Every structure is written in structure tokens, then in C-alpha cells.
Amino acid sequence: MASGSVEAFYDGRGIPVELSEVEQALDQLWGPAAEKTGGPELDAPAVTRVVLANVVIVNLGPARPGMDETIEAITTQYPSRLIVLGTDPGAGRKLRAEVSAQCHLPAPGRPQVCSEQIILRASVEGRDLLPAAVRSLVESDLHSVLWWCDDPREAPALFEQLAGEATRVILDLPDPAADPAALAAAMEPKGCQTARDLAWFSLTTWRSLIADQFDAAALGNLKRIGSIRVRSVGEVGERPTRSAAWLVAWLAGQLGWKPEGHPRSTGDGRIEASLRGQDGAVRVVLESGPSEPGALPRVAEVEIGLRPAPNAVTTLNIQCDGEGTCELCVTDDQGAGCAFPRLVKVPVAETARRVSAALLTDRSDPPYHRALPITLWLLGD
């Protein structure tokens, strides 16, 4: 293999190869300087080749903004064999393949840790060739993750075959632009209990912040919740972000609230709805506004209203600035403003954290499945 090709391979530039020669090309490009986990030890390896799982990334539409950051996060958090499926209108009934390395430096003075990336491109008429090609390329003794970035209804046969062979399915759909019906469609094949919406994994901090306010000493306050307002920021559209709907649905699922009637959308990114709890109706308002250019969609504010009670809290308000600081404000029954203000430092909601949570959390997630139908209801599917 020419030295120029090897250099391009380690730089992450795709090297075209024949599909039948992918494994041979990878062995040649890694070369004797690459130490493979579980293989013979080398005295001074230039890189360490690590494969913990197979990750099949499907992006059949236009290139998604932030996809490079997602791939970098996957290989940094979870070094894998990446198999990326894309579109090439001119490929006809043939798959076009490329190979490259995705490397990062874990610590100064240590070898780079590298994952291998195989890119397969197909035309629309050649998509039926992809499942067999993927099957021939996955490491058989490792589990497989399907990372799907398109509406599954646009390639239903491909989605069903790849999802059926994956141990986990992550839906990385635009938020809020994606049709909620796309999320519902992804859950339909055989129940697809392994499928998760990536937006769900942006809520870890919010779930913790809210749960912390209702500790054992104030447990009765949970039954007093009469309203919840969630403001999210992201791309401006007709509906709020899915992360906002997921947050309300998580709370509703945990507390046993049931949908009442139909949500009402005002068309400017605002949704009003009603849920029924054991102690009465809970009014829900989802609001949205523009985010900073290039920023991930996120929840920016949550306000929980409690039904009146003597000498008790009436409102909990949490606002997070997206840079790691959240302000908590509790209003007492006198309504005299913020009675107990405080600031809390929290992890910044970034691509690497969402990807890591999606890949590393337990496959069994009852709160997610309780929240799913309520999320779809809120978003109008």
C-alpha cells in the first residue's frame, strides 16, 4: 500500500476500495505499527486499534450538520468499527466503498487510539444490497448499534432489516424539524424495544434537577403539581423541540398522568395540553424560541406550578443558560418573589454527552417506554 494512502487513511480521508477487498485493505493500511486490542503486543506501537462494537450509521439524505462531531464522539467514547451508509446517485447496482481511520489521543505520550471506518454508498435502486454488505462487514462476536439519521419511512425495508439485527437502535432525527410520525414508525417493526430517540438523552441533567426538588421531605408536593411550562430553544418551527415534550412525558409517565383530549398547537412553536393526575388536571404549556447559531436544541426553562396549600411552595422555576449554570427559584405561598434562589453548576449539554449516554446506558429503560406514547401525543402524532 502506497505511503500516501496510508497517511490519508490515518488522517481520516476515505481510501476507495472494492467491497470484496475491504478487510484486506484494512489489514494493509493498519500495517505493523498498529497494535490491536487482544492481539500481539508491540514494543512501540504508533496507534492502538480498538473495536468494542459495531456501529452502523445511516445517513441517506443530505449530509447532516454536526455529523462529524457525532462520529468523533462515538469513536472517542466508544471505539468501534463504524460502517457508514450514504447515497451515491451514480452508483447504479453497485456499492462504492471507502475505508479510513478515526483517531484520538487519549493522553500525551500515549499512542493514538483509532477506530476503523467503512463507508458504503449506494443509489436508491441499490439500497437492497446494503443489508448483506453490512452483514459481511460486522465483527460477529461484538454487538451492533444502528445509528439512524433519516425518516425510517423513506427506506422501510432497509430500516427493518438493519434494526432487526442490531442490539440497539438510536434515532438521530432533526429536532424539531422531524415529523413525529417518523419516531412512531421506528417503533413499529416487532415493537422495536431497543429503539431510542437521541433527544431523550439530552434530559439527564433536567431529570436530576427536578427530582432533587421533590425529595422525601417534600414528597407530598408531587401530588400538588397543577401546571408545568417548558421553554426550549432550537430551530424555530411549528412545534417545540422533542426534548421539551420528552421532559413533560417523563414526569407524566413517572407520576401516572394520562392525556386528556387533544393538544392544541398555535403554530408558533407553542403547544397547550392537559393531563389528568390522581388529584386533578395538570396544565401543560410547551414554548420554543431561537437558539444561538449552530447550538444544539435544548430545554432552557422549566416552571412547575403547585396547587395552593398553607405555608407551602407554590412555584418552582429552573433556568439553564446552556453554558453549565442553572438558576433555581422557589416562590412561597406569600408570592413575594424568589424566596430561595440558588445557582447550580451542571454538565454542558453537548454532542459527546448525548452520544455517550445513548451508547452506554442500560438497554432496559421503563421510564422511556412510559414516556413515549405521551411524547407522541404531545407532538400531535
Same domain, 264 and 341: yes
Average pLDDT of the segment spanning 241-253:
96
Residue 164: closest CA among 138, 130, 197, 190: 190
Same domain, 230 and 334: yes
Q: How does 300-325 read in b/e, with b if 16+ C-beta sit within 10 Å?
A: bbbbbbbeeeeeebbbbbbebebeee
How does pLDDT run across 72-83, given as a tens digit for each residue? 889 888 889 999
What is the model's pLDDT at position 188? 66
Amino acid at the residue 226 = G
Q: Give domain status of residue 43, yes or no.
A: yes
What is the model's pLDDT at position 250? 97
In contact, 48 and 114? CB cutoff 8 Å:
yes
Q: Give domain status of residue 268, yes or no.
A: yes
Q: Give domain status of residue 113, yes or no.
A: yes
DSSP state of 269: S
What cell numbers appear for 366 in the block? 421503563
Same domain, 27 and 79: yes
List the CATH number of the domain containing 122: 3.40.50
pLDDT at 358 exceeding the cut of 80: yes
Same domain, 154 and 213: no
Same domain, 229 and 367: yes
What is the model's pLDDT at position 219? 46
247 or 52, greater pLDDT: 247
What is the model's pLDDT at position 40? 46
The 3-state secondary structure of 349-372, one letter per residue: CCHHHHHHHHHHCCCCCHHHHHHH
Same domain, 103 and 142: yes
Give the domain-ending residue among 151, 172, 193.
172
Same domain, 158 and 207: no
List the CATH number of the domain containing 297: 3.30.360
pLDDT at 314 exceeding the cut of 70: yes
CA distance 279 to 365: 27
pLDDT at 333 exceeding the cut of 80: no
pLDDT > 70: what percent of the chain? 87
Q: Is 96 helix (H, G, I), strand (E, B) or coil?
A: strand
CA distance 119 to 121: 7
- Alpha carbon 130 to its chain's center: 24
pLDDT band (50, 70, 90) for residue 283: very high
Q: Is 258 helix (H, G, I), strand (E, B) or coil?
A: strand
In contact, 64 and 71? CB cutoff 8 Å:
no
What cell numbers appear for 220 in the block? 407530598
Same domain, 70 and 219: no
283 has which bridge partners?
A: 227, 274
Average pLDDT of the segment spanning 325-348:
80
- Alpha carbon 133 to its chain's center: 26
Q: Give domain status of residue 57, yes or no.
A: yes
315 has which bridge partners?
A: 305, 331
**Mean pLDDT estimate for the chain:** 86
Same domain, 221 and 369: yes
Give the domain-ending residue among 150, 172, 194.
172
Domain count, the chain: 2
Q: Give domain status of residue 181, yes or no.
A: no
CA distance 36 to 103: 13
CA distance 10 to 320: 39
The DSSP bridge pattern shows strands 168-171 and 315-320 to be unpaired
pLDDT at 286 exceeding the cut of 90: yes
Give the domain-ending residue among 129, 155, 172.
172
What is the model's pLDDT at position 222? 82
Same domain, 22 and 100: yes
Q: Give domain status of residue 275, yes or no.
A: yes
pLDDT at 244 exceeding the cut of 50: yes
Q: Is 111 helix (H, G, I), strand (E, B) or coil?
A: coil
Residue-number span of the structural domain to which 265 is assigned: 202-351+362-378
> Which whole-number Å values give the CA distances from 293 to 233, 287, 297, 322, in the listed order?
11, 19, 10, 13
Same domain, 51 and 154: yes
Average pLDDT of the segment spanning 222-228:
90
pLDDT band (50, 70, 90) for residue 375: very high
- Integer Rg of the chain from CA: 24
**pTM exceeding 0.95:** no
Considering only 104-113, 233-242, 347-356, 370-379, which range has the smallest mean pLDDT?
104-113
Q: Give domain status of residue 324, yes or no.
A: yes
In contact, 316 and 304? CB cutoff 8 Å:
yes
234 or 327, greater pLDDT: 327
Q: Give domain status of residue 195, yes or no.
A: no
What cell numbers appear for 238 in the block? 411549528
Same domain, 156 and 230: no
What is the model's pLDDT at position 216? 47
How does pLDDT run across 144-203, given as a tens digit for each residue? 999 999 999 999 999 999 999 999 999 999 888 889 899 888 876 555 677 899 999 999
> Which whole-number Å values give the CA distances from 354 to 64, 73, 243, 297, 339, in the listed order?
16, 9, 12, 12, 34
Location of C-alpha cell 455517550: 356
